[in-house]
Amino acid sequence: MIIKDSIHGNLELSEFEGKVVDSPDFQRLRRIKQLGVTYLVYPGAMHTRFEHSLGTMHVASRICDRIGVEGEEKEKVRLYALLHDIGHAAFSHESEKALSRYFGDHEEVGKKMMAEEELGGLLLEKYSKSEIGKLGSGIEKVIVGGDVGADRMDYLLRDAYHIGVSYGMVDVDRILHTLLLEEGELVVGEGGLEAAESLLVGRFLMFSTVYLHKTVRIGSAMLNRGILRSIEDGMDAEEFLSTDELVLEKMLGTENGGKYAKALLGRNLYKQAYSVEGALVDAEKAEEELSSGCGCEIIVDLPPVLSRPLDIKVKAGGELKGLMEISDLVRSLFLAEEKRKKTLVLCARENREEVKQAAENYSR
């Protein structure tokens, strides 16, 4: 099977990989947007988890070729790259904040799908249950999900391309050319410092201007509030393991969640009334007291917290060092990123001035 990709050109898949791509579980990814509600700000952000998964497989394959991973091991890397996002619910990462309390994150859901669903039966044609269970715990996890892995390189390129910005256009060829496998990690070799810096610069700019754009955060906060209200209204959390449009349609039929779905479909979004640097200690209490005092719904949206610091390793002078340690540029980016994290106080347009005043008084 050959698929024409907008980023990488012709992608060649084996017969078995073609079967995986044609499975209902994988085809579902065609109807899950890569960037959730970002299309409300950037109209071009309509690309999906489907093409990102294919692109990640391609980049992972190139990494294998670079570091000498071959044969069956390379096949498993490519398969894991294909399936690394198979467990995403509707609206990708943007719905995970609300849904993870019900069935874990997308990696946990993906493992379950590979073991129990229709997809699991297909994988058993080639691999044992033990091999399927271990998929994603070996070298494939490093190649796909590492700090300088295939997942990150593909999504930065793909998101920048579809949105129409140049921030994420990192020099993938140069990075791939310098990659090494050292102590079980992907690291950047001698001469690759600038390429590694470009990756983190691209990531920083994409987060700052796209992923954490104020209006994207507002849409995401309303989506998550709508998901929780819809579940309270009787929707099963499992129903969100569907597709974007189907989920919004089902949410419309709920008493309290429906207003959020309607607002998202009509782009009738809340406004930012106030913001404060950093994260509030007790956002739930602030939200409750402000809402009660103003007599209207208020959402206090905390800045995202990364699960771990991003620090690409570079081999310099025969030693492995963190990019943060040796790059003044990367250290400055990290500090800038921390300073740009803000808690947003959101409300309906007509309540904006009143909420702004109340939030200012509350924060004193």
**Sequence-distant (≥ 6) Cβ neighbours of residue 325 within 8 angstroms:** none
252 neighbors 211 (Cβ within 8 angstroms)? no
DSSP 209: I
* Domains of the chain (ranges, CATH numbers): 2-164 (1.10.3210.10), 170-209+311-338 (no CATH), 270-304+341-364 (3.30.1370)
Is residue 335 exposed (0-12), middle (13-18) or buried (19+ Cβ within 10 Å)?
A: exposed
pTM tops 0.85 = yes
DSSP 47: -
- Distance of CA 73 to CAs 76, 114, 136, 202, Å? 5, 18, 12, 31
Q: What is the pLDDT of residue 309?
A: 58
Is residue 233 exposed (0-12), middle (13-18) or buried (19+ Cβ within 10 Å)?
A: middle
Task: Give the residue among 296, 285, 292, 306 at the shortest CA–CA distance from 352.
Answer: 296
pLDDT tens over the chain, length 364 residues: 899 999 999 999 999 999 999 999 999 999 999 999 999 999 999 999 999 999 999 999 999 999 999 999 999 999 999 999 999 999 999 998 899 999 889 999 999 999 887 899 999 999 999 999 999 989 999 999 988 999 999 999 999 999 998 876 788 888 999 899 988 889 898 788 888 888 888 888 898 889 999 999 999 999 999 999 999 999 999 999 999 999 999 999 999 999 999 999 999 999 999 999 888 778 889 999 999 999 999 999 998 875 455 678 888 777 888 888 888 888 888 888 888 889 999 999 999 999 999 999 887 6
CA-CA distance, 17 to 92, in Å (whole number)?
A: 23
